[in-house]
Amino acid sequence: MRRKPRRTSRSLASSGGFETFVLDQLSDLGDVVARKMFGGVGLYCDGFFFGIIARDELYLKTDERTRAAFEAAGSSPFRPFPDRPGTMQYYRVPLDVLESAPELVRWARAAVEVAKRAK
């Protein structure tokens, strides 16, 4: 019996330059830690998992209180495997938010609060 080829973690890989850019933009958020996970990068603030960097995109944790802002901006949910159904509660950060450090910190703070509520 032939096995399907395994997906490698490379499918979620991001460039180190993008990760550095995101961490610089989030410097006013507090103690943000980036940890490699499943080929992407998980972002933690004060021990709370609030973001994902994958495929040179930043995704922030959402819930029923915060998701509407992402949807209104045309953002899409994170799909670990784009060719398969299923999404996660993380949404892509709009480019204009990503490029504005103060705005990104505001959105990221909301994502940290979502992570705290989920605990």
Task: Say yes or no to pLDDT of 60 above 70.
Answer: yes
Q: How many domains does the chain have?
A: 1
Segment 96-115 mean pLDDT: 98
Q: What does pTM read for this prediction?
A: 0.83
pLDDT band for 119, please (50, 70, 90 cuts): confident
**C-alpha to C-alpha distance for 112 and 91, rounded to whole angstroms:** 13
In a domain, 2, yes or no: no
Q: Among 10-14, 20-24, 30-34, 39-43, which is the least confidently predicted range?
A: 10-14
Token pair recorded at residue 93: 């950060």
What domain range is 94 assigned to?
A: 9-118
3, part of any domain? no
Distance CA(98)–CA(70), nearest Å, equals 12
Cα–Cα separations (whole angstroms), residue 106 to 30, 47, 95, 112: 12, 18, 14, 10
Does 23 map to a domain?
Answer: yes
Centre a 10 Å sphere on the Cβ of residue 95 and count the other Cβ atoms it contains: 11
pLDDT surpassing 90 at residue 39: no
Phi, then psi, of 7 in degrees rounded to 5: -75, 135
Mean pLDDT confidence for 35-40 = 87
